[in-house]
Structure 1
């Protein structure tokens, strides 16, 4: 009798949850698709490939574009660190957040030549590079996640939509100290 009562109680609980549109869940279950997503961190973005070779950038679907500029050294480098006012020659790859596509890469240009940023901090590049390249060491690879206000803003640029979050992988080939 006790077993029958327990079975009836369990069945009633399950039917009640189904009638209310709910589902039984346990701690640690996956959020529903209607649950708000959290902003991504640099650790959510996957990058493969070694310094000096074109990277593969994978932007996740499980979180939203960050609203702050994020950086992470993927390869620390062992040479001089970039300071404001220095020049740095880099290879780079750019993916856009909204479509998760690789849209620009210095590795695709022939002949392969690094792009020089100078003076870092006041160069005629997006603000996210002026900020995000400070501290990278020669021989280092850095992930830069740049929100629209430090990228191309509402107007976009060269086929990149307005208000786009930019994801760069940058290799610091040479660092030239300011004189």
Structure 2
């Protein structure tokens, strides 16, 4: 795992309407190993709702990175993280269909477009 001494990112309130498909933006391009579709990733992340800018989750707030198999995450992460290199920071804007489904799907975030900023710390 690479030790990346960064601070929790601030996510600017988005302008315009929410996208209908996944948007991927590299904020910092990493130089380490590349995440693949079947990888387990070690990340720091923050997530906010597109419409309100309210933070709903952050590994930074828990002061602990998270290790996940990509296959167990929302589709937006499954599609948005592969190709990212360790040491990188990427912003994903994830529409409901690639997050927690349409409104009424039973998850508190269903029907919402979500923004994540993810720091990739390691892959295996």
Category of TM-score, reference length = shorter chain:
0.7 to 0.9
Higher helix fraction (1 or 2): 1
**Is 1:90 aligned to residue 43 of structure 2?**
yes
Number of equivalent positions: 119
TM-score using structure 1 length = 0.62
CA distance in 1, matches of 2:118, 2:91: 7
Query: Which consecutive unaligned segments of at least 5 residues does structure 2 have?
Result: none
Say whether the 8 Å CA contact 2:46–2:60 is kept in structure 1. yes
Structure 2 residue aligned with 1:59, among 1, 13, 29? 13
RMSD: 1.7
Mapping of residues 1-179 of structure 1, within 5 Å? 52-61=6-15, 63-109=16-62, 112-118=63-69, 120=70, 123-154=71-102, 155=105, 157=107, 159-160=108-109, 162-176=110-124
Cα displacement (A) at 1:68: 0.6
Higher strand fraction (1 or 2): 2
Q: Considering Cα pairs closer than 8 Å and 6+ residues apart, tell me whether 1 or 2 has the greater RCO.
A: 2
For residues 44-96 of structure 1, what are the alpha-carbon distances to aligned partners after superposition, in whole Å with 9 as ceiling and x for unaligned?
Answer: xxxxxx973111111234x1000010101101011011112122100000010
Map of 1:6 onto structure 2: none
Query: Which consecutive unaligned segments of at least 5 residues does structure 1 have?
Result: 1-49
User: Computing the radius of gyration over CA atoms, which structure comes out larger, 1 or 2?
Assistant: 1
CA distance in 1, matches of 2:25, 2:5: 14
Cα displacement (A) at 1:124: 1.5
TM-score using structure 2 length = 0.88
Judged with a 3 Å threshold, the aligned counterparts in structure 2 of structure 1 residues 82 and 69 are, in CA distance, closer, same or farther, namely same
Judged with a 3 Å threshold, the aligned counterparts in structure 2 of structure 1 residues 136 and 156 are, in CA distance, closer, same or farther, namely farther
